[in-house]
Amino acid sequence: MTDGTTPGGDRPEELANVHYLPHRPPADPAGQVLDAELISEEEYQQRRPSQKALALQRIEAYRRDVTVVVHVVRTVATHQRTLRVVKALARNVSYPVAGAGMVLRHWRDTHGSARYERLLNDAEQSRDQEALREWEARAVAEKQRRHQRMMDWIDSPARVVKALATAAFSVAALLLALGVILAISREDISQVTGPITAVIDAVAFVVWVATAYGIVLVTGATTGVLVYLWHKGRRHSTWEPEWLHTPEQRAESFAVIDESMLTRALTHCKVTSLTKALKEGQQLEFVVLPRQQGGGTYVQVRLPFGCAASDFLDPKRVELLAGNLGRHKHEVYPQRQPKADARVLDLWVADAGTMDKPAPPWPLQFNGEFDVFRDRLPIGVTMRGEQIEQGMLNRHGLIGAVSKQGKTAFMRLKALGLALDPTVELRIADLKGDGDWSMFEPRAHTLIEGSAVEQTEATCVMLEDLVEEMQRRYEAKRAAGIRGNITRELSRQPGSGFHPIYAFVDEVQVLYAEQHPIGGTKADARAWRAAKRLHDQARAVNIHLYQATQRPDDRTLPVAVREGAHVRASLYVPNHPTAKLVLADAADMGARPQDLRPGRDAGTVVLTGEVDDIPDGMAFVISKSHYVSTQDAYGVIDRAMQILEQHGRTIGHDDADDGEPQRDPLTDIATVIGDLPKMRTQEVLQRLTELHRITYGGWELGDLKQYLTEYHAAPYKTDGKMHVSADLVHTALAERDRSGGADGEQAGVDA
Ligand SMILES: Nc1ncnc2c1ncn2[C@@H]1O[C@H](COP(=O)(O)OP(=O)(O)OP(=O)(O)O)[C@@H](O)[C@H]1O
């Protein structure tokens, strides 16, 4: 073989390679062939590949070529760097175009008829006839002005040309005359065109310089305009397609929630009625413009006719809306505005990423006392980090969540805060008994831990005791003539019998799931009846009940008990029905604890009801609660015990069952009169009531008179008014001391 190919397909690679190698001249048979075999013509024809096989081999070679080229092109074209460069190029080319569009639009809006059309439209919409007439007149005047300007523009070039021609002709004539004079005076005919030529040269030089400057100026101005338009387009362009955005731009574009973004997001939620209304030319009306509130953006939108805010509350829509706003679904909270018509949609969107920030440490963890009458308890922060505080007086509470979401921690936080008020009495039942509440042992009046029958029964008794205490307080209140709320002064008075009591029952489902007659929902079941009575009446006499449960269903949290809670809190729950059991109506108005992330959002609470820091117009607030670990809670209770000691209080001291120290009215009367020689009976009664309302609040003039008469110190009349004599009271005291001290039986009054 002399052409370099191997017949018979022994080395098909070489056949393929032929295509790549440059054409080689046939080898010199004398010098190149080192080995060969002599074959016959017939054998040669047999071994030689057919034309068809050669064609196929060639096609295969081309196919491989194409594959390689396509692969290379695709790799280069889809490479991140190429995409970045192309996008950057496209973006930067689009900016000046977008900027020019904006400048044009701005010019048209401020100069053209569009502005008048808009104003006329507004006037028409608001049916303001006067404004309509005025804007119509102004529009007509503006049109005339524009027409006149246009005519001026058309006329002016002709006028300019005419003026220039006249000027040029006059100057030329002048110069010619000057040339003739020069030629005559110098007797040289060639001088006639001298002045004209000199002026033409001068003009040519000026034109040359002006052209050079003009080129520089035009180039500079064009660059400047392009840069300006590029900048404008980059800063404000909204038509740039999203695929052109850099990752930073994409994140930034979702950072600020504005009207255009909201309109786009709402429009793409697949709500047919809205899509139809927008196509008909109706518009979204922003009743409250987007504004920062509670760690996110709050906005109120009136939807067009035929749409309802409730269309957006469906979880699937919420998810779509959240995606359109660049948020997770637990960061977007649409709700039906409770105080407005069905078309008004309230929307709260968390700032991106704020849900992941932990709450700061609890402000009362290491310092400070608490006063239930004066203070509100810090319980957490909004998503933006603003403090949320909760008034604790005269409110019952319910907390619901599945296991391990921070239910106990949240309820315990409230109990820890209350423990820092030395007048508060705590009664606690932890029906899991895992030690989460053990630190309260020295501080609590009652601490029940465990989930056996003994503990559920003890919890039931605890609630029933509170019902008895409630009744006692009502009677004492009536006897003391107290109307309305119990004052702070009275409540904090040692031994007043009206100090605040808080009962906490953790894992309360264990109590209600207990066998009848303790648990269950039958009419005579003890636990729910006691809890219901407390819910109905106890808060007026400063007795409160907080319950936490993993299962807020009808069996393990009877309806009658569930409804009595004034403050409702839900951490993560599995679904909307469960959320509704805990949060009631708020769950239908946009509160969605079911969208919190289990575990990751432990401690994040959706609060509703009598919560002081719920923003205006909203039905709920989301809070990251402060976390005090079990270990740290011991430290807080140590501090609570010190505070108790500083105030001279002991646990159970305020328990009305311990009995009140007996008052000695004779001593008290001497005390209130003080150094005065006499005092009017009305004033003595008033001061006695101030001194100890429980004992003297019910005293009337007859009681005082009868009491003093027994000690021969009866009030007497002087200046037309009844008075008590200080001398007589002191004499009675001295007399009594001589005859054997204060006579409890006779004089002491049971407080
Ligand atoms: N406010 C919070 N911030 C951060 N993490 C928290 C917060 N509250 C609770 N957690 C975390 O959640 C865990 C579970 O808390 P907790 O025991 O209070 O849940 P629970 O709902 O009462 O659970 P269970 O019903 O099983 O007792 C805690 O150990 C803690 O890690």
Q: What is the pLDDT of residues 335-354, one digit of tens each?
A: 887 777 889 998 989 887 77
Protein residue whose Cα sits closest to atom 3 of ligand 1: 603
Q: Who has greater pLDDT, 135 or 633?
A: 633
Count Cβ atoms within 10 A of the Cβ of residue 391 and give its class: 0-12 exposed, 13-18 middle, 19 or more buried: middle
Tokens of 281: 């030319």
Pairing of β 721-725 and β 716-718: antiparallel
Ligand 1 and 175: CB distance under 6 A: no
Ligand 1 and 493: CB distance under 6 A: no
Q: Worst-scoring range by mean pLDDT, 68-77, 227-236, 239-248, 613-622?
A: 239-248
409 Cα nearest atom in ligand 1: 18
387 C-alpha to ligand 1 centroid (Å): 20
DSSP label at residue 498: -
Q: For 23-28, what is the mean pLDDT? A: 54
710 C-alpha to ligand 1 centroid (Å): 65
Helix 407-419 / helix 630-646 crossing angle, nearest 10 deg:
20
Ligand 1 and 433: CB distance under 6 A: no
CB count, 10 Å around CB of 549?
Answer: 26
10 pLDDT exceeds 60? Answer: no
502 C-alpha to ligand 1 centroid (Å): 22
Determine the pLDDT at residue 511.
Answer: 96
Render pLDDT for 370-413 as a digit per residue (tens, 0 to 9).
Answer: 999 999 999 999 876 779 999 999 999 999 999 999 999 999 99
Ligand 1 and 147: CB distance under 6 A: no
Helix 80-111 / helix 194-236 crossing angle, nearest 10 deg:
110
Render pLDDT for 432-451 as a digit per residue (tens, 0 to 9).
Answer: 999 999 999 999 999 999 99
484 C-alpha to ligand 1 centroid (Å): 39
**Maximum average pLDDT range among 34-38, 313-317, 685-689:** 685-689
626 Cα nearest atom in ligand 1: 1
354 C-alpha to ligand 1 centroid (Å): 20
DSSP label at residue 749: B
Determine the pLDDT at residue 412.
Answer: 98
Which helix (H) or strand (E) segment holds residue 567: the answer is: strand 567-570
Pairing of β 344-350 and β 501-506: unpaired
- Pair 662, 748: CB distance under 8 Å: yes
Could you tell me which of 343, 382, 377 has the C-alpha nearest to residue 359?
382
251 pLDDT exceeds 70? Answer: no
37 pLDDT exceeds 80? Answer: no
Ligand 1 and 401: CB distance under 6 A: yes
Q: For 310-330, what is the mean pLDDT? A: 86
112 pLDDT exceeds 70? Answer: no
Render pLDDT for 507-562 as a digit per residue (tens, 0 to 9).
Answer: 999 999 999 999 998 989 999 999 999 999 999 999 999 999 999 988 889 988 88
Annotated binding site for ATP: 401-408
Residue entry with tokens 């080995």:
35
Q: Who has greater pLDDT, 186 or 631?
A: 631
Determine the pLDDT at residue 45.
Answer: 77
18 pLDDT exceeds 70? Answer: no
Q: Who has greater pLDDT, 524 or 12?
A: 524
Protein residue whose Cα sits closest to atom 23 of ligand 1: 404
550 C-alpha to ligand 1 centroid (Å): 12
Find the farthest-apart pair of alpha carbons in the chain and give their distance in angstroms, rounded: 164
- Pair 687, 672: CB distance under 8 Å: yes
Protein residue whose Cα sits closest to atom 26 of ligand 1: 403
Annotated binding site: 401-408
Percent of the chain clearing pLDDT 70 (strictly above): 88
Ligand 1 and 619: CB distance under 6 A: no
366 pLDDT exceeds 90? Answer: yes
Q: For 463-469, what is the mean pLDDT? A: 96
418 C-alpha to ligand 1 centroid (Å): 20
Protein residue whose Cα sits closest to atom 15 of ligand 1: 406
Confidence of residue 82 (pLDDT cuts 50, 70, 90): confident
Cα three-residue angle 229-233-234, rounded to 5 degrees: 115
- Pair 643, 443: CB distance under 8 Å: no
Determine the pLDDT at residue 617.
Answer: 66
Is 19 in a helix, a strand, or coil?
A: coil
Q: For 265-289, what is the mean pLDDT? A: 88
